[in-house]
Structure 1
């Protein structure tokens, strides 16, 4: 028996689909309003320009996705995604050292975002009370001012036809430039916001690589050593026996226009990486795609949990709340964790929708906070990064740097670090100062 009548979700990306999957358990009807056309296959879509670049689904995200869609991991693999040993098949150059490689007992799936979204799309079609209305944009909210409650949306389709739709709950999963932000601001409902400017650019391209007996990895990550190095890159095997190469540059280190205009520019940037391994692989490789560019000038976290007089009937999720530094690959996994938190709240029979949305935004903040702090601790290694600095930044950076260095020597520490990065263990599991101090002293003595 459904407890609620109708939910409307704005945005059919990953966070929107996950929200729909959860809400379908508790609402008689769930409608997704998506601006893009209906996909015809695992192809990049206009509404997700980041889809042409490398993505990662971390352990927490993969486990959560499997719980929401049982069997989906196996479907990924059967349809071409690459299954790897997480610590054995990843070759990672980080802060000037290579991580130790060993069998840590975890697996990771390598695939493109369009492939992942397409498979989720097929699973969503099996849910009878979820429908997707493509080519639909939301123009405005229907708002009851006396009750301070949003009770519907006004939409426009590709033909210009305008209609209104009522709902018990509106979920905004439309991303960074959402209607909610501007709509709330016009009504004087300011949402406290953190913004950190990082000037990040992504440049990606797919290649066909010749077989090589020396290639003992499935994914190789070369991270810049800040502050002196601003360019990094990753090469990863994905479905279709292809390799996707993504180059990243902080603080405008990559000239976007030059990369798009000059075919040789991509290889030239790869040659500037802190390590030459990726350049060696691609310098004579066969390109399978054009170069794609994606920019993230700043990352943003909207503290809806702190907003005063936030209207009833509205719930914000995914990038609509927080756009995190994508270099760390945690965005999709955050979306999964948020969906699971919403599911758990809705399972409480005695909670009203108003309580659920308010509590959800508070729990959402608890999910984001440690990840946000971990990410900006690294982003602020660059002096040009601007924004609110976390307390104890210098100490955090010193501590994290030692963990990075130790994870090139010590399997136990690297294993713990991997679980924290993959959001399955809290960062407190790494807060064993005795281990770090002893290791630092030992390393100093042996030098």
Structure 2
């Protein structure tokens, strides 16, 4: 049995993936996007981070592949890079390079704009889905009791209209108006967690120099907090280009001029990104994007929450983009929404009673690990603004020691990548052999300085 109509606020990756899963359970799914339609993989005002490097982790790639059969292979055929996380990534975290080995963890390297364009094309082909551009959602509609959302009020160039719906999904990103709407309806605002980062990242495309020889498909250099504040990322993407993103915290921002961009790369903790791009040809202008904070809204903790309304994506949890978790969290959130709706259809056909609460609570559990990992690392910076709890210093020591350990132990690196790519939860780090080896390394770390414990200097080579 199908529901009648779902309305989705926001037509970026979260909204498109939400439309795909809801098309299996609704007669009609309408996606409302504020921006006008794009003719191709172009930057949009509503996605200011779209021109910068993005990561689609293994778990997210698996969701895309299942929701859109054949799309991933098509993108590989058209120029996206297939890479193995262990073999093809030169990855420096917290001051040390990770080992190179065949991991079986797959990533696709392409631009965010191209991936979103491809996904939008597949979603637009679904007969149940209607994509409407140039639409601004002004308010939620409710029943007479105010306990159930029944649709939305929409403003277009032609005027205002109302759209009734069995389910309204807000994927409106950081600019979501859901907190204000809920407060206006008498529900109050969700509790908010925030970690102030004062982060900015600048990105530019390059044509690689034929003289440069590198055995990686992606290279990342992350700062060792709190001493270092700069990092960078370089990846091969469609069109034979490199997409290079440099980032800095707390005012140390990467310039957008060619000379300034290159000089900033030269000052990174490792010289390897600079060495790669110093003879490469810039393609177009560099662009900068600033992110003042990471943010998590606890809709699941609200005393009251309306039926027929759910929120996910950056509208709930906007993570530090440096760690590349955002799109994968969106993929897994959309998958979760499909699972919750499927269970609802089986248990109470024709009714959405209880669905909203159930989804927001399950979503909170899904988000908890990437949020904890990212904010724990960010709060090592003394300038980072956020709630610091008892025992955070011990957690910083443990997590920092673990990152160091992943540079000298392939076992630790394998398990860390499993968690990082959201293939497994934190239990992956609790294997008996892993715990025993980590305990010995942690004891050693109390007496041996970091530079003597890890492969700090030399970029490791890929396995033959």
Report the TM-score, using the length of structure 1 for normalisation.
0.95
1:145 Cα deviation from its structure 2 partner: 4.8
1:376 Cα deviation from its structure 2 partner: 0.7
For residues 211 and 225 of structure 2, what CA distance do their matches in structure 1 show?
Answer: 32
SS at 1:290 equivalent:
strand
Q: In structure 1, what is the equivalent of residue 263 of structure 2?
A: 268
Tell me the alpha carbon deviations over residues 335-368 of structure 1, each in whole angstroms, 9 at most, x when there is no partner.
1111111111111211441311110000000001
Q: In structure 1, what is the equivalent of residue 20 of structure 2?
A: 21
Given that 1:373 and 1:390 are in contact with CA atoms closer than 8 Å, whether structure 2 keeps it comes out as: no
Q: In structure 2, what is the equivalent of residue 35 of structure 1?
A: 34
Q: In structure 2, what is the equivalent of residue 311 of structure 1?
A: 306
Taking structure 1 as reference, are residues 207 and 183 closer, same or farther at Cα in structure 2, changes over 3 Å only? same
Q: In structure 1, what is the equivalent of residue 336 of structure 2?
A: 341
Q: In structure 1, what is the equivalent of residue 456 of structure 2?
A: none
Q: In structure 2, what is the equivalent of residue 400 of structure 1?
A: 399
Given that 1:11 and 1:172 are in contact with CA atoms closer than 8 Å, whether structure 2 keeps it comes out as: yes
Tell me the alpha carbon deviations over residues 26-82 of structure 1, each in whole angstroms, 9 at most, x when there is no partner.
111100001111121112212101111000000111111111112221022112111
For residues 302 and 312 of structure 1, what CA distance do their matches in structure 2 show?
Answer: 18
SS at 1:7 equivalent:
strand
The reply to whether residue 424 of structure 1 matches residue 423 of structure 2 is yes
In the comparison of the two structures, how many residue pairs are matched? Answer: 441
Tell me the alpha carbon deviations over residues 268-289 of structure 1, each in whole angstroms, 9 at most, x when there is no partner.
2111100111112222321112
Q: In structure 2, what is the equivalent of residue 359 of structure 1?
A: 358
Taking structure 1 as reference, are residues 433 and 52 closer, same or farther at Cα in structure 2, changes over 3 Å only? same
Q: In structure 2, what is the equivalent of residue 48 of structure 1?
A: 47
Tell me the alpha carbon deviations over residues 303-329 of structure 1, each in whole angstroms, 9 at most, x when there is no partner.
000112212221101111110111111
Q: In structure 2, what is the equivalent of residue 206 of structure 1?
A: 205
Q: In structure 2, what is the equivalent of residue 281 of structure 1?
A: 276
Q: In structure 2, what is the equivalent of residue 435 of structure 1?
A: 437
Q: In structure 2, what is the equivalent of residue 185 of structure 1?
A: 183
Comparing 53-62 with 66-75, greater Cα deviation is found at: 66-75
For residues 295 and 147 of structure 1, what CA distance do their matches in structure 2 show?
Answer: 38
Gaps of 5+ in 2: 454-464
Q: In structure 2, what is the equivalent of residue 350 of structure 1?
A: 347
1:246 Cα deviation from its structure 2 partner: 0.3
Q: Following superposition of structure 1 onto structure 2, how do residues 237-252 of structure 1 map, counting pairs within 5 Å?
A: 237-252=236-251
Q: Following superposition of structure 1 onto structure 2, how do residues 112-261 of structure 1 map, counting pairs within 5 Å?
A: 112-157=111-156, 159-188=157-186, 189-212=188-211, 214-254=213-253, 259-260=255-256
Given that 2:33 and 2:132 are in contact with CA atoms closer than 8 Å, whether structure 1 keeps it comes out as: yes
1:214 Cα deviation from its structure 2 partner: 2.9
The reply to whether residue 58 of structure 1 matches residue 57 of structure 2 is yes
1:200 Cα deviation from its structure 2 partner: 0.8
1:442 Cα deviation from its structure 2 partner: 5.1
Tell me the alpha carbon deviations over residues 180-229 of structure 1, each in whole angstroms, 9 at most, x when there is no partner.
12222334412111111111111111100123463111111011111111
1:126 Cα deviation from its structure 2 partner: 2.2
Given that 1:377 and 1:390 are in contact with CA atoms closer than 8 Å, whether structure 2 keeps it comes out as: no
Taking structure 1 as reference, are residues 354 and 442 closer, same or farther at Cα in structure 2, changes over 3 Å only? same
